[in-house]
Structure 1
Amino acid sequence: MRFSLFMYCTVGRRAELEAGMAGRKPDLYQRMLGEIAEYARFADDAGYFGFGHPEHHLQIEGFEISNDPRLMSMWLGQHSKKLRVITCGFVSTTHNPLRVAEDIATMDHMLGGRFGVGLVRGYQARWVENFKIRDELNAVGPWNKDQPADIANREYFGEFVDIVVKALSNETFSHHGKHWTFPPAGMVNPHEHPVYVKYGQGVTAAMKIEQIGIAPRPLQTPHPPLYGGFAASMRTALFWAKYGGKPIVLTDNLKFYDHLCRAYTEEASRHGRTVKDGQQAGWGGIFICAPTDAQAQEWARDMMWFWQSWATPFGQGVPELLVGSPDTIARRLDQVRQVLPDQDEVILLIPQGLHDRGQILTSLELMATKVMPKFA
């Protein structure tokens, strides 16, 4: 097992969040950046595999102030040398897919081939509706599941992912879909430019733009590993099997997770992909490790308050709780290994921001020294 951390980019402790408008307070944001940098350095040295974060905007309350996914990824990369930096991820309805592909390739180089990237549909309506690039697209969640808005979003997302993967994987390409056409139909460069023809591809001598390509190509081949952010459905898992993406599934239902992985393998084979057992998805949950079970449960109170206050209204159920002493967490991971003997990546959702530096570093150190060696 390899262990990756995931944070929401919470700007303050519970009392600071309860005071209101925490996301607007520069001192809290500065402290958050310093703490994240310290956690990244520690995790890097301690042998953790990756460190991930989401994309969310307009977060004046401060519960999930992750903002631009590029900037936070570079902050994590600046303070680590080995960790896989996982943006999870670019919200499709608010980005141009060609620009996203270019950003991914560029970040992969700047991070020295340590980049992993998620592409997601968008569920927080307040910011998605303000940032979206198509008027007809909407955020999705339990309130519109399987309704026209959800169907349209899912259709758009499929085309978005297809374009990103094409751009990352090919020297040049064209795309003609429902939502995007690259290059625009009948595009002709308004002035002659011999470099396009002499040293490039996709442009005719008559300056007709027939194909385009991004530069640079990614450092990793064919592109950085793809993740599907916090998937909870079989349909999402099967979608990612086509592209070799790894959905992140935070669940305590190991039977469902095992079934999901088996279905993923079958679907991947239909697309000509061979997937090793344990590589289909990332499994995990909320993570708090303390010297004793009682202390871990006490520490978990603020995280559960956060979950009930923030995640539950979005329709998110409580995930797996990896909460306890090193022995307790090791026993649970051993149970997981009995059901999922080849599980590769375990995602640990940490209460960054809610807990102080000492609590977070204690959790990370206990995990790294007393638990992880048993599952190496």
Structure 2
Amino acid sequence: MKFHLFVYATLGRRHELEAGMAGKRPELYQRMLSEVAEFVQLADQAGYAGFGHPEHHLQIEGFEASNEPGLLSMWIGQHSKRLRVNMVGWVAPAHNPVRTAEYIATLDHMLKGRLGVGMVRGYQARWVHNYRIRPELMAVGDWNRNTEEDNINREYFTEFVEIVLKAWKNDTFSYKGKHWTIPPEGMINPHHQPVYTKYGAGVDADMHIREIGIAPRPYQNPHPPLYGGFTHSLRTALFWAKYGGKPIVLASDLEFCQRLWHAYGEEAIKHGHNVQPGDEAAWGGSLVCAPTMAKAQEWNQDMQWMWNEWFVPFGQGQPEWLVGDPDFISRRIEQAAKTFPIKECFLLIPQGISPREQVLESLELFATKVMPRFAD
């Protein structure tokens, strides 16, 4: 089993967040970068498989200041030698899909194939509605589930994923959908450029641009590992079964996970994907590993506060809380792995909200006392 760590780029301890506007304090941002670098270096040396982060903007409160996908990914890559950098994920309404495909392919080269990526629909309205590339694209959540806004976002997201995959897998391509026509219909280059026809593809002699292509191709063939973001939704899991993406499921309901794994496998077969056991989805939770159960609960108090304060109002349910001593956490992972096959486990860690030394001790304890029990 491979274990990946995941951070939210939290800028403050609880008292610093409660003081307000932590995101505007440069010294806290610098401390976050330093902490992430140190945790990455430990993870790289201790045998963790990957280290990841999301995309969120306008984070003046400082809870989730992971504000630029490529830069933070490169920061993680700069401080590691073997870890996979998991950018989970690009928030589709804020991005052009062709540029996203090119950006990820370039990042994959800069990390020499140590990149995993996710694509998500966007649930934080404040920043999504200020960054969206089309006015009709809305953030989605419990407040607009199964509405026209939700349907439009879902349609756009489907086209976004299809375009990114087409761009990665083909030298040149075209796409015609409800939201995107690539290249624009009837596009004629405004001047003659013989290089396009002599050395390229997709452009006719009369400069009619029929297809376009990104450069470079991804470093990994055909593309980096694709994740579906964090989800508790069976519908989302079935979507990713069609496109070969792996959902990351942090649910504590193991029977639900078992149903999701089974449904994913059946749906994947319909679309020609040969999914091996354990490749249906990744599982995990929020991790605090301490010498004793009592100490683990004590260490987790601020992370639990942060979850309830920040994530619950967005409609996020409680994650699997992998909080305890090494034996307790090992038994819980074993219980999950007996219920459904697990190859990858994603662990949220309380970076920022908890003291640096506490997080380091937790990661070291998990690496030495838990991970060896699940060695391949």
* Both proteins in one fold, TM over 0.5: yes
1:195 deviation in Å?
A: 1.1
| One-letter amino acid of the counterpart of residue 330, structure 2 | A
**Within 1, Cα distance between the matches of 2:249 and 2:328?**
21
1:361: which partner in 2? 360
1:158: which partner in 2? 158
2:370: which partner in 1? 371
1:228 deviation in Å?
A: 0.9
Secondary structure of the corresponding residue to residue 370 of structure 2: helix
Note the alpha carbon deviations across 1:102-138, whole angstroms, 9 max, x for none: 0010000000101111000000000001011111110
Secondary structure of the corresponding residue to residue 229 of structure 1: strand
* Structure 2 unpaired stretches of 5+: none
2:227: which partner in 1? 227
1:318 deviation in Å?
A: 0.7
2:209: which partner in 1? 209
1:283: which partner in 2? 283
Q: Does the alignment pair 1:328 with 2:328? A: yes
Secondary structure of the corresponding residue to residue 35 of structure 2: helix
Secondary structure of the corresponding residue to residue 230 of structure 2: coil
**Within 1, Cα distance between the matches of 2:329 and 2:91?**
33
TM-score, length of structure 2 as denominator length: 0.99
**Within 2, Cα distance between the matches of 1:266 and 1:201?**
38
1:288 deviation in Å?
A: 0.3
Correspondences of 1:225-374 after superposition (within 5 Å): 225-340=225-340, 342-374=341-373
Note the alpha carbon deviations across 1:334-358, whole angstroms, 9 max, x for none: 2112212x31000101011011111
Note the alpha carbon deviations across 1:206-231, whole angstroms, 9 max, x for none: 11111000000001011001111111
Secondary structure of the corresponding residue to residue 90 of structure 2: strand
**Within 2, Cα distance between the matches of 1:178 and 1:332?**
45
1:128: which partner in 2? 128
**Within 2, Cα distance between the matches of 1:337 and 1:223?**
28
1:333 deviation in Å?
A: 1.3
Secondary structure of the corresponding residue to residue 87 of structure 2: strand
| One-letter amino acid of the counterpart of residue 371, structure 2 | M
1:61: which partner in 2? 61
| One-letter amino acid of the counterpart of residue 96, structure 1 | N
* Structure 1 unpaired stretches of 5+: none
**Within 2, Cα distance between the matches of 1:7 and 1:186?**
45
**Within 2, Cα distance between the matches of 1:331 and 1:112?**
36
Q: Does the alignment pair 1:95 with 2:90? A: no
**Within 2, Cα distance between the matches of 1:239 and 1:351?**
30
**Within 2, Cα distance between the matches of 1:246 and 1:333?**
19
1:205 deviation in Å?
A: 1.1
RMSD: 0.7
**Within 2, Cα distance between the matches of 1:198 and 1:313?**
56
**Within 2, Cα distance between the matches of 1:240 and 1:338?**
24
Structure 1 moving runs of 4+ over 6 Å:
none
1:148: which partner in 2? 148
**Within 2, Cα distance between the matches of 1:75 and 1:351?**
19
Count of aligned positions: 375
**Within 2, Cα distance between the matches of 1:81 and 1:154?**
37
1:27 deviation in Å?
A: 0.3
TM-score, length of structure 1 as denominator length: 0.99
**Within 2, Cα distance between the matches of 1:295 and 1:262?**
37
Secondary structure of the corresponding residue to residue 272 of structure 1: coil
**Within 2, Cα distance between the matches of 1:38 and 1:335?**
31
Note the alpha carbon deviations across 1:27-68, whole angstroms, 9 max, x for none: 000000000001011101111011111100000000001001
**Within 1, Cα distance between the matches of 2:117 and 2:334?**
29
| One-letter amino acid of the counterpart of residue 49, structure 1 | A
2:167: which partner in 1? 167
2:70: which partner in 1? 70
Secondary structure of the corresponding residue to residue 85 of structure 1: strand
| One-letter amino acid of the counterpart of residue 101, structure 1 | A
